[in-house]
Structure 1
């Protein structure tokens, strides 16, 4: 059983029960296994970052509608108690920490100021946070878990990783009988008036894997955007690293599998294990 909670009656947050947790863990083990087979090493990011770090990636220029920020309570002359279920802006000190809406930021910050191989690959999982105009339980949450596999190095390497994991996602979802559709998606990831934004319009850099209207995974090409912003270089150190990533929204996979198996979570868990074995 999943319990949901949120502000003003919204199903914005989920407490997963034992069966749901077991299924999510099995999914994550599967995706992590794919990463390990590709030579990825695991890193562990924090759940929030200094705003100055996220600002490097134009998060607040391109995704202000999704942003959550955090700061300590201002206790000068106050009791530190909420009124009517909330703290007002005047009760808070400056919001100097940002809650990320994507997991992969941790990888670029980890490698900041370094030189990587031409075929670097890492994996990480984190809590992500998004301020949405509406929530709908596991399908759209304010806080959710995202597993990502991030490639850094040469452009050819980043594209090979995207191609390889596109095949794995389609094979795995096919074994599960999900019938995912690969659809080009346009996020305002790059500044709208920049050269990268024009390139994105001419050649999509993000593809989503959708079950109905719900995207549960994606593959993303960033070219050398993050390499430049974090001064990550590769090879002889003269060129900024290219990056790409593969993302899995774990609660969204849970939502789809719960629906497909009509709420029979042990059956869904068995199906995931069998599909992972068959898909290799």
Structure 2
């Protein structure tokens, strides 16, 4: 597992402010992806940018992804001055960290449906800020804070697999219209305990595929089986069986990076290409 690192916020690589033309391009991409979900009946929810640590802990975030984790807290004015020094606060100036910054968007969909029964063909879409404490950063290609649009299926196993198949086809069709030449590659994410039955299944049958432009993954499809259904006590309608889930994820800034590279940094030209491609695959 990679060591925990101190991110350098002074280089301009970890955090960015998008200029207007790039913002327009990102918003257009998000409208395309969310539109695909809505066309299939997805309802949109609006998650918060942070969650209580106890909620993210349900998903083994701090067991399987501790190297990526970032947390937040308030200032302890009883023990500290409340003033930063050298760009930061000393540990004694901080309260216990009880807020978790999510590294994936889909968590909000499962927490939203916690302790409920869902129809077998439930589809949700949501976008959120994600945060990752990476070993290194690289501008739009790899950021500390970035936006991820997801389409999340909950209900029957068949529904989760149909959703993945449908959006895999749409991603490849759209990227083909953009001449991006994405490659679908099997990948791994340690959502499941390394010695558990689900981990064995994931080794026998991949549960995550990434769509890569060169060496950069800009989208993925993920099968979780009933992991999140169990952790959030989400059950299938008219049944005691825990719901199955899957998700389709789009890293918006990464799409932006690839399109800007393709169009020599011309965001307006890339925007027109996205609109034309979206028309062809609609």
Aligned partner of residue 222 in structure 2, secondary structure = strand
What is the distance in 2 between the residues matched to 1:222 and 1:147? 17
Structure 1 match to 2:214: 212
2:16 corresponds to: 14
* 1:90-131 Cα deviation digits (max 9, x unpaired): 211000010000000000000000000000000000000000
Q: Which residue of 2 aligns with 1:99?
A: 101
User: What SS does the corresponding residue of 1:165 show, helix, strand or coil?
Assistant: helix
CA contact (8 A) 2:127 2:148 kept: yes
> Match of 2:224?
222
Structure 2 counterpart of 1:198, from 196, 200, 218: 200
Residue aligned with 2:275, SS: helix
Q: Please give the TM-score of this superposition, normalised by the length of structure 2.
A: 0.96
Distance 2:205 2:80 in 1: 54
Contact 1:6 1:13 in 2 (8 A): no
Find the aligned partners of 1:40 and 1:257 in 2 and give their Cα distance.
27
Q: Are 1:82 and 2:84 an aligned pair?
A: yes
**Deviation at residue 200 of structure 1 after TM alignment:** 0.6
Matches within 5 A, 1:37-52: 37-52=39-54
Distance 1:77 1:249 in 2: 40
Gaps of at least 5 residues in structure 1 are: none
* Deviation for aligned residue 1:146: 0.3
Shift of 1:70: 0.6
Contact 1:12 1:142 in 2 (8 A): yes
The CA distance in 2 between the partners of 1:226 and 1:276, in whole Å, is 32
Cα deviation code 1:61-105 (max 9, x no counterpart) = 000000001110111143211111111222110000100000000
Provide the rounded CA distance (Å) in 2 between the counterparts of 1:184 and 1:203: 10
CA–CA distance in 2 between the matches of 1:92 and 1:110? 30
Partner of 1:114: 116
1:272 to 254, 267, 274: 274
For 1:135, what is the secondary structure of its paired residue? coil
Shift of 1:197: 0.7
Please tell me whether the aligned partners of residues 10 and 135 of structure 1 are also in contact (alpha carbons under 8 angstroms). no
Across the aligned residues of Structure 1 and Structure 2, the Cα RMSD in angstroms comes to: 1.1
- In 1, the alpha carbon distance for the partners of 2:79 and 2:122 equals 52
**Offset, 1:10:** 5.2
Q: Secondary structure at the match of 2:185?
A: strand
Q: Secondary structure at the match of 2:16?
A: strand
Q: Could you tell me which residue of structure 1 aligns to residue 249 of structure 2?
A: 247
**Structure 2 residues not aligned, in runs of 5+:** 1-6
- Is the Cα–Cα contact under 8 Å of residues 130 and 141 in structure 1 kept in the other structure? yes
Give the 4+ runs in structure 1 shifted more than 2 A: none
Native 8 Å contact 2:155 2:243 kept in 1: yes
Query: Residue 175 of structure 2 aligns to a residue in which SS?
Result: helix
User: 1:117-196, aligned counterparts within 5 Å?
Assistant: 117-196=119-198
